[in-house]
Amino acid sequence: MKSDIPKVLHEIAGKPMILHLLETLQGMDFKKTVIVVGYGKQEVIKTVEDWLVNYPTMNVEFCEQLEQNGTGDAVLSAKEYLKDDNGYLLVLLGDVPFIKRSTIEKASEKIISDEALSLVMSTTLTNPTGYGRIYRNGNGYIKRIIEEKDASVEEKKISEINTGVFIYDNVSLWHYIDHISTNNAQQEYYLTDLIDIYNQNNKTVSSYLSEDSNQFRGINSPEQLLEVEKSL
């Protein structure tokens, strides 16, 4: 972001992006919300805690990702806060702040109706460059997610992309997450590798394809921040 400010505290329409996301979650039926922090953790925690004064019934905890070693590592850092809970775990991204409540609700209904242990939220883009591609099996379920840097020329032509938002059966997540490795171009723990692991264990990976790709716009540069603010 070319700034010392933690990314999720950059403001959109006068409000830190993480608070846009938390406002969507506020009032939904979640047992708890765990925020993974790293760089600038004290600033992030203070911003959220100041906001929480107005929402005393919202159960929010913080955990620290000690090393920035990928999305899988970020989720794994929250294990001690979540491993004993039943039900489903929704994984969101702090720099994708405008996912709609209705999208979360519909995806939650889908994983239950499919009786699946995991669900990927996807969308289609005219230009999918930079995003992980969705690769499906013959039954239409997701077989794997191919990261841009690991994709072949043909795989890069796929227009359906991973939004980075997932739902997991909580018990199965902590059972399988230890199988993730760093055998990839970035040498990081990709959360997306779980999809392949579920398939290897003959577990169905469901999906929710949203036609509204704008709600999944990520913010990774000052230019993208400005674009999102203008559109909002």
For 183, the token pair is 């055998």
| Residue among 103, 167, 157 nearest 131 (CA) | 157
Question: If you average pLDDT over every residue of the chain, what do you get?
Answer: 94
pLDDT tens-digit map of 9-21:
999 999 999 999 9
pTM for the model stands at 0.93
- Coil, strand, or helix at residue 11? strand
What pLDDT, on a 0 to 100 scale, did the predictor assign at position 221? Answer: 92
Q: Where are the alpha helices (DSSP H) in the chain?
A: 17-25, 41-52, 71-76, 79-82, 101-113, 170-176, 193-200, 222-231
Average pLDDT over residues 192-196: 92
What are the residue ranges spanned by the domains of the chain?
7-231
Domain 7-231 has CATH 1.10.420.10: no
Half-sphere exposure in the Cβ direction for 98 (13 Å, CA): 17
Q: SS3 of 199, please?
A: helix
Tokens of 76: 């794994």
Instruction: Determine the number of helices (DSSP H) and then strands (DSSP E) in the chain.
Output: 8, 10
Report pLDDT digits (tens) over 84-110.
Answer: 999 999 999 999 999 999 999 999 999
Instruction: Tell me the three state secondary structure of residue 89.
Output: strand
What tens digit of pLDDT does each residue of 136-179 get?
Answer: 998 899 999 998 888 999 999 999 999 999 999 999 999 999 99
Does the pLDDT value for residue 117 go beyond 90?
yes
